[in-house]
Structure 1
Amino acid sequence: MVHNSSGQTSSVWMATVDMPQPAPLAQSLHADVCIIGAGIAGLSTAYCLACEGKSVILLEDGRIGSGMTQRTTAHLSNVMDEGYVEIERLHGHKGARLAASSHAAAIDRIEKIVAEERIACDFERIDGYLFSKSGGSNETLDDEFLAAQCAGMRVERLERSPVIPLEAGPCLRFPRQAQFHPLRYLIGLAGAVHRRGGQIFGGTHVKSVKDGPQAQVETDGGAIVTAGAIVAATNTSIVDTVAIHTKQAPYMTYVIGARIPTGSVPKALYWDMDDPYHYVRIQSGSDRDGQYDVLIAGGEDHKTGQADDAEMRYARLEQWARDRFRMIERIEYRWSGQVMEPVDGIGFIGHDPGGSENVYIATGDSGMGMTHGMIAGILLTDLIMKRDCPWSSLYDPSRKTLRAAGQYAKDTLNMAAQYVDWVTGGSVKAAEEIPKDSGAVLRRGLAKVAVYRDQMGLVHERSAVCPHLGCLVSWNANEKTWDCPCHGSRFDKLGTVINGPANSDLALMKNGQE
């Protein structure tokens, strides 16, 4: 869950917007394209295809934007998270230029859609500032400056930030970055899809996907959508079991929203080069007391399911922010989200590597989810329309990046290490040891059991085995979820799947066994 200072479960975005819940799919239908997931990638793809005259059906498990889009910090940037030194090393000079130009084109397209569809979402162009690592040399910053220039970026090296420095010393300024309110944008985009004949269904869980000339999407309710093409825009792919998941790793990232006086920090995107790095932006707000700004700061990442110390991470993030932004009045919000990190720093957008030619995926956002979502809309539309796109090879999910072999091996070993939990004991010996409204994994014979003890003290048991590839889930005390440390599947406290690649719930326990 995500918490604000009053104890409510809300991100800064959800606190100001009540997202619509479209009606569930009640009957079998046919469309040119069926899209799974109503986040930024799914809705962008639906919009672009609808503009081409394609009939589109979009299926969403919950509400519009109820996945990772509601947990974004909504940076619209072509400054890559990995940095252009690393992108050029992994993908060459041409690949770095394509990465920069594709993200820039995504921002331009969003700006155009906002204007043409008259979407009130606080879109504005702002500068971005990249600062050196705390206490580090400027050599790394200088290398990044040269690599960004070679990638065709507009960038300026400054001896000191003209606004507010995150760190003393030089920084890089990237003009024409942008920001917006992501959920207000999605509401406007959904309306535009409807006006162009697209159909959106919420509360509809996809049970299975079958490829072929007339592909099928089967839902839990029994209704089936047949389509000429299927797009899985679900943050992490639910249509591929293995191939794509060995090439990306799930990370949790943490965010706070701090109340500051209006105008006390100039609106811009701010990043540092620490490891883990930090990112900051400003969002306008108001309440009955008047206008104010929210300073949104994120960082403190770790691999999903491999740490359960959120309170300490929030505390470190707050201290980091207060040390640099002395005008902070109080922390209004805090939340976390999951980011899929591709082994080579570039998202996977295109044909499903394990499926047929008419099944497509969009995943591997690497902290660039808002622009990746729009890139998916543009690129997948070109592929479905049988048009050439200069970005297709860069984002091809089947690509092999030989220069990323070291990171691939490291991630593979990390995933393999998680299966060791099968031979260990549980985190507790008995359910009675678990505090109320909390969970833990215990061993029962040869089985591992995910046990949640609710606020009344009643015990709810599920198998601790992730139905994706058999890794054992871990309890996330911050969000009260069961998280898979191998590939990032996540389940609510009662075992209901809320994030892929798993596409079914944790199994029920019967007589102490699955």
Structure 2
Amino acid sequence: MKTNGASTSFWMASAAMPSFAPLAGPAQADVCVIGGGIAGLTTAYLLSREGKSVVLIEAFELASGESGRTTAQFVPPDDFYCAIEKSFGAEGARKVATSFHAATDLAEDIAKAEAPDCGFERLDGYLYCLPGQDGEMLEKELDSATRAGVEIEKLPRVSGLSFDTGPCVKYAGLGQFHPVRYLAGVANACSRQGVRIHCNTRALDIKGKGTNQIVVTEQGDILANAVVVATNTPFMDRVVMHTKQSGYRTYVIGIQIPKGAFPRILLWDTGDPYYYLRLDSPESGSSTDTLIVGGADHKVGQDSHPEHRYDEIEKWVRDRFPMAGAVTHRWSGQVMEPADRVAYFGPNPMDDGNVYLITGDSGTGMTHCTAAAIAITDMIMGRANPWSDLYDPSRKATHGLGDFVKEQANTLAQYKELVTGGDVREVEQIKPGEGAVLRQGTTKLAVYRDESAALHVRSAICTHLGCVVAWNSAERSWDCPCHASRFSVDGEVLHGPASVPLAPGKLLASSST
């Protein structure tokens, strides 16, 4: 499977997605969905079930992006209900709780009907504070979540663990599944319902007005009454949405533990960095389970050699689970953090109402994207949706103004790289399998030397808004530290908002080998 990085997740390694041919020429449909992850596939599934004709296009393969790199949990908001209530009031927190509950119910129903092998199960989730942290946070969360209608209780500790967590809150009725198996079932169901799915078909632009939308691809234009952009972050918006959210890399390991050493729960702490855990068990015949642990986040493009983050997660696990065995998988993914802690889905603020966005997953992509599919299906079908106003992409970031200002300052600081020297002075310093930014006169080049010593040279200037990209040795990609675009070593777009590849670069004769 062609993916957006060099690492392979536990899910990608243990299941396969159906394959679909690229678009063969111009097409027409009621709705064009762009993106073949959980947001796009669920939206296509719901709309086709309503009788809409749907074309879905994906730049790579289905589930090859962030949906294949998740830890696949249906959990509370990433910043929890107390923070949502502080920003949006008790009514806003209730809307989030209602949407999360509806998303989990829908995923369970789809799993039963279309993907019975995905292992969807309802589990309780536990949040605990680290020693020395403000224990009042748990009380605040208990009160806010209760007011929001969440089934929650406070307990003295999480039982069944090999270490004492201290006080915690328990959320009842959450969920987890195998995301690739789930999405394989949804994709096959979409195909049976008449959705025309095309992989290796990249959307380059969206044009048109009203119900006459045109999605531009290299293979031909797609005419549609409505377009849903489900690409983790919008690719056709230069500025507006990308000042409201920031991209972060998150890291995950799969590590073997004796069967029964970790209870069937979901678990998070409130540390910085924080960690989140779940379990995956073989169907039968194994004496071990796989404990899946994530965390150690950082802003995209702001750690060129992030492999140490896997080591930090592993150490954290072994300190608490000394019986843990071998690490079997290491991978990373990308989350978009909205400034005010609530995702964005609904009409594109830069359009006249028939282009819809799904973005700002904030580390809860399975839940947010499923809730978004419900809301956008309602919108396209002309129905009222009870939580769509809260998630409106046109809302101002006034509730998270402090974080917004901090993130924008961080972004602006990255532009200083335009006038600094490179990572190396000479191309000879770049070893096989490594990349580095090299200054050459007034410009900068992104240079990768492959294992056969051949050089891959591109401009180091991101095609979105002109920031200098940085090398990511864990994924062998060029990542933009400003707005989280990512590119392959040959300049291909791996993740938006960029929609154009890195320009070709050329080394001067005195710099090449």
TM-score, structure 1 length as denominator?
0.95
Offset from partner CA, 1:73-93 (integer Å, 9 cap, x none): 00112x111111211111111
> Is 2:96 aligned against 1:122?
no
- My pick for the range that moved more, 439-448 or 160-169, is 160-169
Which residue of 1 is the match for residue 309 of structure 2? Answer: 313
- Could you tell me which residue of structure 2 aligns to residue 68 of structure 1? 66
Mapped to 2, the partners of 1:198 and 1:275 lie a distance apart of 43
How far apart, in 2, do the equivalents of 1:285 and 1:486 lie? Answer: 41
Q: Is the 8 A contact 2:128 2:138 kept in 1?
A: yes
Flag the 1:512–1:388 CA change in 2: closer, same or farther, 3 A: farther
Match of 2:474 among 478, 487, 493: 478
Residues 2 and 10, structure 1, Cα contact 8 Å, conserved in 2: no
| Equivalent residue letter for 1:127 | D
| SS of alignment partner, residue 295 of structure 1 | strand
Gaps of 5+ in 2: none
Task: For residue 397 of structure 1, give the secondary structure of its aligned residue in structure 2.
Answer: coil
Counterpart check, 1:39 vs 2:20: no
How far off is 1:208 after superposition?
1.4
TM-superposed deviation, 1:119: 3.1
Aligned 1:445-460 pairs, distance under 5 A: 445-460=441-456
The one of 243, 247, 256 equivalent to 2:244 is 247
The residue that corresponds to 1:90 in the other structure is: 87
Distance 1:211 1:466 in 2: 27
For 2:450 and 2:279, how far apart are their aligned partners in 1?
37
Provide the aligned length of Structure 1 versus Structure 2.
506
Answer whether contact 2:378 2:384 (CA < 8 A) is retained.
Answer: yes
Q: Does 1:224 align with 2:217?
A: no
Residue of 29, 52, 55 corresponding to 1:54: 52
In 2, Cα distance between equivalents of 1:93 and 1:261: 43
Task: State the partner residue of 1:237.
Answer: 234
Secondary structure, counterpart of 2:96 in structure 1: helix
Which of 289, 292, 299 pairs up with 1:296? Answer: 292
Q: Distance in 1 between matches of 2:203 and 2:287?
A: 42
What does residue 440 of structure 2 align with? Answer: 444
Q: Secondary structure at the match of 1:377?
A: helix
RMSD over aligned Cα, in angstroms?
Answer: 1.8
Q: Give the match for residue 424 of structure 1.
A: 420
Look up the equivalent residue of 2:421 and give its one-letter code: G
Q: Deviations over 1:423-455 (max 9, x none)?
A: 100111111110111100011111110001111
Residues of 1 paired with 2:243 and 2:287: CA distance?
47
Q: Deviations over 1:72-115 (max 9, x none)?
A: 000112x1111112111111111111111101110001111122
Counterpart Cα distance in 1 of 2:381 and 2:127: 38
Gaps of 5+ in 1: none
Once the two structures are TM-superposed, the CA of residue 354 in structure 1 deviates from its matched residue by 1.3
Equivalence for 1:344:
340
Q: How does 1:245-284 map to 2 (within 5 A)?
A: 245-284=242-281
Confirm or deny that 1:22 pairs with 2:20: yes
CA drift at 1:2:
12
Alpha-carbon distance in structure 2 between the residues aligned to 1:446 and 1:92: 51
Residue type at the aligned position of 1:492? S
The Cα offsets for residues 434-485 of structure 1, whole Å up to 9 and x where unpaired, read as 0111100011111110001111211111000110111110000111100000
Residue of structure 2 equivalent to 1:176: 173
- Do the aligned residues in 2 keep the contact of 1:285 with 1:291 (CA within 8 Å)? no
Q: Does 1:162 align with 2:144?
A: no
Contact 1:489 1:502 in 2 (8 A): yes
Distance 1:232 1:512, change over 3 A: farther
Q: Percent identity?
A: 48
CA distance in 2, matches of 1:492, 1:214: 34
